[in-house]
Amino acid sequence: MSETLDRPASDLKVVGTRPIRPDGADKVTGRATYGADFNMAGQLVGKILRSPHAHARIVSIDTRKARALPGVKAIITGADLPEVASALHQGGEAAANMRDLAMNVMARDKVLYEGHAVASVAAISNARADEALAAIEVTYEILPHVIEVEDAMRPDAPVLHDHVFTEGVEPKPDKPSNIVKRSGYTRGSLDEGFAAADLVVEGRYTTQAVHQGYIEPHACVASWGADGQCTVWASSQGQFMVQTYCAKVLGLENSNIRVIPAEIGGGFGGKTTVYLEPLALALSKASGAPVKMVMTRDEVFRATGPTSSSVMYVKLGAKSDGTIVAADIELKFQAGAYAGSPVGAACMTALACYDVPNFVITGWDVVTNTPKVAAYRAPGAPIAAFAVESAIDDLARKLGMDPIAIREKNGVVNGAKSAYGPTFQNIGYLETLAAIKDSDHYKAPLGPNQGRGLAAGFWFNIGGLSTGAVHVQEDGSVVVVTSNPDIGGSRAAMAMMAAETLGIPVTNVRPIVADTSSIGFSMLTGGSRTTFATGMAVVQAAETVLADLKRRAAALWDTSIENVAWNDGVATCLDAAKPDAKPLPLSRLALLAGRTGGPISAEASINAQGAGPGFGVHLCDVEVDPETGHVTILRYTAAQDVGRAIHPSYVEGQVQGGAAQGIGWALNEEYIFDRDGKMENPGFLDYRVPVASDLPMIDAILVEVPNPRHPYGVKGVGEVPIVPPLAAVANAVRGATGVRIADLPLSPPRIVAALEKAGG
Amino acid sequence: MAHVVITSECAAFTGGATEFDIAADNVGRLVTELERRFPGLGEFVEQRMSVAIDGEIHQDAWISPIGPDSEVYLIPRIGGG
């Protein structure tokens, strides 16, 4: 663990500045190589045949006609892939069941959602691959399906998995169920809490499945060498995750798979698993040629992501002074085809902003005939926050309290026990509320049909396994190597932390994202961990290099290392007995490296602990057209405790991006299924994400309560900003219309219907 | 003795007990002791849980020290997006 440098912000010369990002020019000029941009000589086109049914038994798959087509080089079905045992494995962040992962990559005996892969082909062209897919004859026995979470929980619901028996209930069930697990948290006594309450609010809240909406579709090229050594070029949130998951699905050794990360065009959690890569490898093995696979947008919607839909019940009790004394919360989350919704994290975060003496939080993880959910920024937290923050807004309105005042009254502070157990340390929730209270936005007047909504949010942030390397080149410039794909500006952050530690300009540092064979392991980019954890590894490596540089300077001056001072990238001799010792800049020490022991470099591999939790408070103004139900976002301000911002522009970008995605979740985005369980809107024309013209400039206020466990005070920042917006928008619409609409999205038809119901 | 608090999903291994004191000076020894006292719980914690020590969440960090008066919570492993 690196020791805290404990330097005040005023001493920092690089951290906190806003240099141009090292990957910026390539990205804005179109030269960056994303997943679909990579090609190999002789590559084949890989494509997937997907289920047209939401739930069906695969009776047979006849590939003979397809195989007979000229130019079709390989066809893979579930029968061609190894059986994978049901076991949890830590490949990404949370443990994943490898059998479920393999079955999601390619169905075996049953398809569990429309879009589930049933066969894959490799052919010499797009057209021939399409022809082959059309020639594959699959016979299905169609089964009843279930989409909605509460429908799936009914005793008479069609059961997806015969081996799933509900965990966490007594007595242990003797029949399989779609309810995978019950989990929860309790404190105090609900009865006593509600008995002490002067006011109770309650509601039923629903959210719909939404996709992460990354612009870049999943894409990869895979090459299975004649010697069994494999290479995958892929866009993902973690090259080591791709390596491990491919190895597990295909029964290979990790060391036989080299994964080279492409530039990534958005992930938001949705690229923390594999869909194409194992199939591309299997097709490459079968065909003897490299295979390239690129999803269409239709496939991205039907077969990847999304996050859960939900049904939630929240009941809050408060004293007349606004003190919340009881909370009863039930969260039902759609997991998709396989177990593992983020309801556990939703339970943990639901009341994380508040110090409530009596509560019961219950979560249900439920499988449905929809795509297996994937992580999406702060998984589960925005959904729970929508319900809880809406209820708190109602509580404040009924009590006639200011929405900030009620949160200040109940907000957690250092030393408070979090709702999920541990005691908070070094948190900045009240400071974040204060930042919004002090903003011009909070004091600005509103016009007719306009409303203002406020909501708070929390995310844990994590550390974990990371590697960083620092290499000094012979001219004194520096290369920083990590193994985390750069989603949100992490290259810049790594370079800046290395430059700060070495006392050199950031322009002298070149950050590189390396492949799985070129650098030690790092967990994937997710969980708001990279700048914190991988940054910590980089700082440690830079500190090792710095110590080495001082040792080398001492050797050249023939003095002890205590006589070496290092400032602004230059060693100076403090030994009074060496008046002629000339300062040694990094460039000189690099040039003389051979004389002082060889190349100058260091690598640090760590399991970073001490991640600081983050809090955000968002303020949203809307105008609602009462005739059309259209909501215009007039003004939006987001404040967040970020620890310390390494590159404030990219931290602000994370805050703005999270807010924008949350606004889309609140207003427009939703998976719409027809009666047969087929998605009706698998494209950006019908699945409406916000575009620039939909939104005002989102003002980001960075509140800096440094994390003492990081050399530069970093807390994670990428996930908190998507937690408050759902409720902030909903509370603003409540303010504008006088009607609480508890079902997302707040689309025009829903608002018009709610206004008509309220009016008449 | 560190005071250990577990979630309801771990309580299935402990006969319903959710709080107890354990003498262990790091996470690895804590997990070993949990497995000894409540067979299956150590493995469960290893696969699915994080350990929060005095408010700080530790994942896969078996050498993280636990003080004699530490507050230890076993909480579900945290990922992210």
Q: pLDDT tens-digit profile of A331-369?
A: 999 999 999 999 999 999 999 999 999 999 999 999 999
User: Token pair of A115, please?
Assistant: 């879009």
- Specify whether A581 is located in the same domain as A686: no
| Amino acid type, B59 | Q
Structural domain ending residue among the three candidates A608, A636, A669? A608
DSSP 8-state symbol, A581: P
How large a percentage of chain A has pLDDT more than 70? 98
Q: Which residues contact B36 (CB under 8 A, 6 or more apart)?
A: B42
Does B11 contact chain A (CB < 8 Å)? Answer: no
> Which of B8, B48, B61 is facing A609, going by the closest CB pair?
B61
Nearest chain B CA: its distance from A378 CA (Å): 5
Does A673 contact chain B (CB < 8 Å)? Answer: no
- Specify whether A616 is located in the same domain as A600: no
pLDDT in tens, B5-36: 998 888 889 998 999 999 999 999 999 999 99
Structural domain ending residue among the three candidates A608, A640, A664? A608
Structural domain ending residue among the three candidates A584, A608, A632? A608
Closest residue on chain A to B48 (Cα): A95
Interface ipTM > 0.85: yes
- Specify whether A617 is located in the same domain as A598: no
pLDDT in tens, A646-686: 999 999 999 999 999 999 999 999 999 999 999 999 999 99
Closest residue on chain B to A361 (Cα): B8
- Specify whether A673 is located in the same domain as A752: yes
Residue A203 CA to residue A214 CA, distance in Å, equals 32
Residue B8 CA to residue A183 CA, distance in Å, equals 7
CATH number at residue A753: 3.30.365.10
* Residue A488 domain flag: yes
> Omega into A22 within 30° of 0, i.e. cis?
no
Residue A186 CA to residue A498 CA, distance in Å, equals 44
Q: Which chain B residues are Cβ-neighbours of A421 within 8 angstroms?
A: 5, 7, 52, 73, 75
Query: What pLDDT score does B80 carry?
Result: 85
* Residues spanned by the domain of A668: 380-461+612-759
* Residue A652 domain flag: yes
pLDDT in tens, A449-493: 999 999 999 999 999 999 999 999 999 999 999 999 999 899 999
- Specify whether A555 is located in the same domain as A569: yes
Mean pLDDT of chain A: 96
Q: What's the predicted TM-score (pTM) here?
A: 0.97
Residues 184-203, chain A: which have Cβ within 8 Å of B? 184-186
- Specify whether A521 is located in the same domain as A400: no
8 A C-beta contact, residue B27 and residue B45: no
Is the CB of B78 less than 8 angstroms away from the CB of A460?
yes
Is the CB of B56 less than 8 angstroms away from the CB of A527?
no
Task: Examine the pLDDT at A326 and tell me if it is beyond 70.
Answer: yes
Does A724 contact chain B (CB < 8 Å)? Answer: no
Nearest chain A CA: its distance from B66 CA (Å): 14
Nearest chain A CA: its distance from B35 CA (Å): 18
What percent of the residues of chain B are helix, what percent strand, and what percent coil, each to the nearest 5? Answer: 25, 30, 40
User: Token pair of A311, please?
Assistant: 């049904």
Does A46 contact chain B (CB < 8 Å)? Answer: no
Q: Which residues contact A402 (CB under 8 A, 6 or more apart)?
A: A396
- Specify whether A620 is located in the same domain as A712: yes
Beta-sheet pairing, A230-234 with A44-50:
unpaired
Is the CB of A348 less than 8 angstroms away from the CB of B76?
yes
Residue A536 CA to residue A484 CA, distance in Å, equals 13
Is the CB of A527 less than 8 angstroms away from the CB of B55?
no
- Specify whether A725 is located in the same domain as A593: no
Is the CB of B78 less than 8 angstroms away from the CB of A345?
yes
8 A C-beta contact, residue A478 and residue A470: yes
Neighbours of A169 (CB within 10 A): 13
- Specify whether A701 is located in the same domain as A729: yes
> Which of A375, A421, A424 is facing B81, going by the closest CB pair?
A375
pLDDT in tens, A488-525: 899 999 999 999 999 999 999 999 999 999 999 999 99
For chain A, what is the domain count? 2
Residue boundaries of the structural domains of chain B: 2-76
Q: How far is CA A456 from the centre of its chain?
A: 19
Residues 227-286, chain A: which have Cβ within 8 Å of B? 268-270, 272
CATH architecture of the domain covering B2-76: Roll (3.10)
Q: Which chain A residues are Cβ-neighbours of B59 within 8 angstroms?
A: 462-464, 607, 609
Nearest chain A CA: its distance from B71 CA (Å): 8
- Sign (positive or negative) of CA dihedral A645, A646, A652, A657: negative
> Which of B61, B76, B81 is facing A719, going by the closest CB pair?
B81
Give CA angle at A730 (A396, A352), nearest 5°: 60
Q: Which chain A residues are Cβ-neighbours of B80 within 8 angstroms?
A: 93, 269, 375, 377-379, 459-462, 526-529, 716, 719
- Specify whether A643 is located in the same domain as A553: no
- Specify whether A754 is located in the same domain as A626: yes
Residue carrying the six token digits 């490596």: A541
- Specify whether A432 is located in the same domain as A518: no
Query: What pLDDT score does B47 carry?
Result: 87
Q: Under DSSP, is residue A96 helix (H, G, I), strand (E, B) or coil? A: strand
